[in-house]
Amino acid sequence: MNVHQPVTVAEPIPALASIAPEQAAVEAMVRFEQIAKTYPAYRDKPGVQALQEIDFAIPRGSITGVIGRSGAGKSSLVRLINGLEKPSAGRVVVDGRDISALSGRKLRLAQRSIGMIFQHFNLLSSRTAAHNVALPLEIAGWSKADIASRVSELLELVGIADKYDRYPSELSGGQKQRVGIARALATRPSVLLSDEATSALDPQTTRSILDLLANINRELGVTIVLITHEMSVVRQLAKEVVVIDAGYIVERGHVADIFTHPKHPITQSFLAEVLGDRVPVSLASRIEPQPIQGGQAVIRVQLRGTSAGDTILARLARELGIDIALLSARVDEIGGRHVGSLTLGIPGDDGRTRQVLSWLSQHQLFAERLGHVA
């Protein structure tokens, strides 16, 4: 073997070598590194610690939901990604670039690869739908011809090509948000930030906008970061969820895991809202603590992703030979698992109810007795 033959394998590829120290960053679209954000005291307002110890990555091509109550720090978090806010400590790396270190012209160039949509759409009332979409392209210095063809393409993509010449005052909320989405995608960004984008919309319109965002993620491969205070939005769209409270990340992981095994009380309270863990008021008002002659015991069964969820009622009725009444139920499928709660009425005496409860616990289902109804 000729020793002088060039060894191609050992030759490092320059581009790869230069990013080698950042290898972990290659997979991550956005990486928060030990972020803290403090707003200094101003006049009579005290300083605010908006974010602390934020350290996590958002995978490339993912849809990540950031959920928290108002004032939890989620707006600050998302504004760190596009450089509208600077961290007080730590750095934010977007697509391998430390955006928190950029300013002026360099920052403005980087911002073109990060789109953002807003709760109140923030369209210019003086521009038509098409001209609103054109704005980021004008700012980026595109030619008139390129802008015209890109704008048509984008309005087509978001399904409002017929609204080209309409002013925002002539559009519905859903249509305005579609214009907002088209505008955010105009410069072909790799990240799309959504700041409560569906909070001002009715449920049906919300659904259609979330479907559109899912399509965009699938077809264009755009990484989507959505901040919201609604768990239903996270459930419908996101794969990853970050729960934030008082400036700290309190819980984070796959949506299905968080929904089935919420640990933090904040997460549990968000889940209660979507899963309807509360017993309907009309039923709750009829529940008595003491057994009622000829009545039913009321028990509530929590479904937390157990596979038994779908057939539980049938099996329970068959195996124990009881006519179970379904008083109320809220079940959703999240990540292929059943999550929700069932409120059941069990006829017969106390022994019957205990039999049911022990059967349920044998099947890894958490159940509790709420009382009795006539």
Choose between 169 and 362: whose C-beta lies nearer to another protein: 169
Choose between 65 and 115: whose C-beta lies nearer to another protein: 115
From the number of C-beta atoms within 10 Å of its C-beta (0-12, 13-18, 19+), residue 341 rates as buried
Q: Kindly state whether residue 248 participates in binding another protein, applying the rule CB under 8 A.
A: no
Q: Return the SS3 of 52.
A: strand
Q: Kindly state whether residue 110 participates in binding another protein, applying the rule CB under 8 A.
A: yes
Q: Kindly state whether residue 139 participates in binding another protein, applying the rule CB under 8 A.
A: yes
Give every strand in the sheet of 114-118, ordered side by side.
114-118, 191-195, 223-228, 63-67, 240-245, 248-254
Q: Kindly state whether residue 118 participates in binding another protein, applying the rule CB under 8 A.
A: yes
Choose between 132 and 328: whose C-beta lies nearer to another protein: 132
Encoded tokens for 143: 């030619």
Choose between 168 and 174: whose C-beta lies nearer to another protein: 168
Q: Kindly state whether residue 70 participates in binding another protein, applying the rule CB under 8 A.
A: no
Query: How far out from the chain centre does Cα 238 lie?
Result: 4
Which range in 10-18, 110-118, 210-218, 290-298 contacts another protein by CB under 8 A? 110-118
| Shortest reach from residue 284's CB to another protein, in Å | 42
**Pairwise CA distance, residues 67 & 60, whole Å:** 19
| Shortest reach from residue 226's CB to another protein, in Å | 15
| Shortest reach from residue 132's CB to another protein, in Å | 10
Encoded tokens for 99: 């955006």
207-246 residues near another protein, rule: CB under 8 A = none
Give the angle 25-31-34 at the CA atoms, nearest 5°. Answer: 120
* Neighbouring C-alpha atoms within 13 Å toward the C-beta of 6: 3
The 10 Å Cβ neighbour count of residue 10 is: 6
Q: Find out whether 125 and 202 touch, Cβ atoms under 8 Å.
A: no
Give the angle 25-31-36 at the CA atoms, nearest 5°. Answer: 145
Q: Kindly state whether residue 115 participates in binding another protein, applying the rule CB under 8 A.
A: yes
The amino acid occupying position 110 is A
Which range in 27-35, 119-127, 157-165, 222-230 contacts another protein by CB under 8 A? 119-127
Q: Kindly state whether residue 135 participates in binding another protein, applying the rule CB under 8 A.
A: yes
Choose between 188 and 263: whose C-beta lies nearer to another protein: 188
From the number of C-beta atoms within 10 Å of its C-beta (0-12, 13-18, 19+), residue 344 rates as buried
Which of 49, 187, 190, 302 is the binder for another protein (CB under 8 A)?
187
What are the beta bridge partners of residue 172?
none
Q: Kindly state whether residue 309 participates in binding another protein, applying the rule CB under 8 A.
A: no
| Shortest reach from residue 24's CB to another protein, in Å | 27
What are the beta bridge partners of residue 58?
30
Which of 108, 263, 318, 354 is the binder for another protein (CB under 8 A)?
108
Q: What is the 3-state secondary structure (H, E, C) of 119-134?
A: CCCCCCCCCCHHHHHH
Q: Kindly state whether residue 138 participates in binding another protein, applying the rule CB under 8 A.
A: yes
Which of 97, 127, 352, 363 is the binder for another protein (CB under 8 A)?
127
Q: Kindly state whether residue 41 participates in binding another protein, applying the rule CB under 8 A.
A: no
**Pairwise CA distance, residues 213 & 300, whole Å:** 36
To which residue do tokens 């073109």 refer? Answer: 112
Which of 19, 20, 124, 292 is the binder for another protein (CB under 8 A)?
124
Choose between 84 and 212: whose C-beta lies nearer to another protein: 84
Which of 120, 239, 252, 369 is the binder for another protein (CB under 8 A)?
120
Residues lying near another protein in the complex (CB under 8 A) = 42, 82, 84, 105, 107-112, 114-116, 118, 120, 122, 124-127, 135-136, 138-140, 167-170, 183-184, 186-187, 193
